[in-house]
Structure 1
Amino acid sequence: MALVREQPIYTTRAHVFQIDPNTKKNWVPASKQAVTVSYFYDSTRNSYRIISVDGSKVSKEVIINSTITPNMTFTKTSQKFGQWADSRANTVFGLGFSSEQHLSKFAEKFLEVKEAAKLARDKSQEKMETSSNHSQESGRETPSSTQPSSVNGTDDEKISHSPETALLKTENDRLKTVVEQSNTNAKKWETELQTLKESNARLVDALQESNTNVETWKTQLATCKEESDQLRAKITELEAQCQEASQEKEKNAQLTARVQELEAELQDKEQELENLRKQAEIIPQLMAECETITGKLQAAETANKELSDKMGVLQTDVEDSQQKQGHMKGELKKFMDVLEGKIDELHEVRQGLSKLGLDN
């Protein structure tokens, strides 16, 4: 995180990504939502950094801590996305902006900070060269300035004012400065290392939580799969039952059609039987007429015996009556034959109806 000596010089909001360290191709989101991304200037070290802190969590996490160097380049890969590589962090950072204007402004600021870092590096090199040249000139001037006093001085004074001693002193001062700078950098690196350790611990906790969620999802998936298998078996059973019901329905329809056909046949037979009954009612009348004719014939025969004398006279009448009687007997015989046939058919119909009733 930024120290007190660092001040923000530009701030924007963007979605932060980092390149996948394994594939080096895919982007991994470093924040779940848009976060603040700022340029910071360190007046003490005369350096620039890009810093972003994810404040959506309970404990804030540094997701970008990139020091700008003159060798860095910010590249626009689309209208709203840009990236740059940080060799010190051994990663590539990506930013997704809400508009093309925000991306352009961030890129312009990156170029300005890069130029400022380059100028700061050049000034630092010039200052180091000037300091080195000044030390060398001081070392060369020391013998000449001390020459008058060293003419009559002791050997210790000559040694203390020798050029080698001045160079050693200058080198010692430079080494002290380097050691102090190293100590400062070591403290800074310790702070960053502690931050990285905390981030790593949070990542481990998140990974463990993800593994727990994965196991939960696996259990839920197995349960859903088992329920799906049960539902499929139930559907198969219901389909079989529906098929059986369809077959039973078809059989019932066939039986209903057959019953309707039999009822129609039964109605026809009943109508035919009714006709036969009507014809059977005429038979007693015919029998009565036949008996009457027979009585008349007997009476005629008796009268014939009694009127034998009238035989000759009535012979013609008798012959006529006999012809009529013969004709009437023939007609009666034919009628009786027909009646017997109808009675036989009626008997067969009754037997058929009885058999049909037993079958039903």
Structure 2
Amino acid sequence: MGEQPIYTTRAHVFQIDPSTKKNWVPASKQAVTVSYFYDSTRNSYRIISVDGTKVIINSTITANMMFTKTSQKFGQWADSRANTVFGLGFTSEQQLSKFAEKFQEVKEAAKMAREKSQDKVDIRSTRIDLNNDTFDFKQDSGPASPGSKQASSFNGTDDEKIFKVGPEMLLMKTEHESAAEQSSSSRKWEAELQSLREKNSILVEDLHQSSTKMDVWKKQVSACKEESDALRQKIAQLEYQYQEAGQEQQRNAELSVRVQQLEAELRDKEQEVENLRKQAEIIPQLMAECDNITSKLQVTESRKVELESRMDVLHVDVEDSRQKQSGVKAELKKLTEVLDAKIEELHDFRHGLSRLGADN
């Protein structure tokens, strides 16, 4: 089956600065996918993260690793095989807690897998020892004769054995030693051949796993490309919205300038209305002066008529002057009414300007 993802999240990836061993160096420009992978063939767990085509995390989890929360949204762990310290920055505290819980679960699973593998290795080594003991026993008991076996069992030291046996026994012993050496060398070659076969099988498995990983990475790369395309489209939309916002701000600025111009025009109109009011207040004085001048003219004319006409016509002239004065008063009254109408129109014009300013 190869490696399969069992948990995936997104985070900002950091690595410790190898020169200072204190500062964090960002391994990705943005949040990337971080996944737990389980290898069923090796019974191992790994944390893998890919940024584009670059592998930024490839950490095999062991039972001795420890994930530490250094803040509410940041955690780290040390990888002795990679000789570095990885750090992950999450967008929320819940994501960090979930990742830490998963790390603890994977760590316990790796610990149990290690214990099982050690038990299997112990059992296998015990079987190999037993097989080697059986093989040595056959090699020792096969070629020897009953007499030599009894001699090796009951006669004292090796020197005493060599002294008591004859030349034929020494020659037989030399042949037995050469055969034992050949059998030991053959066993070594068989062991090396077996180890090479095991290495070859491991390499084949690694090749299969690497091809599987390449497929997974290709899928992740295609997903990252799709995500980057979506982000580019979103950036284009945001830029278009930003341009529209700038145009709207420009329109608002133009409207504010127009409002200021209208307010200035309104102030000018109010000043004109105030001037007209002052002029309207002066009109009664002008009318009074006009009345005085008219009366003086009438007196002057009457005097002239009195001097030029007879005394009898004086009363008629006075009556005529009175009638003329009444006509002038009527005309002045009409003029006053016209002025009042103009003043009312000015008031209406001012109210209209006030409403126009309020609407703006």
TM-score (norm. length: structure 2): 0.38
TM-score (norm. length: structure 1): 0.38
Give the structure with higher Rg (CA). 1
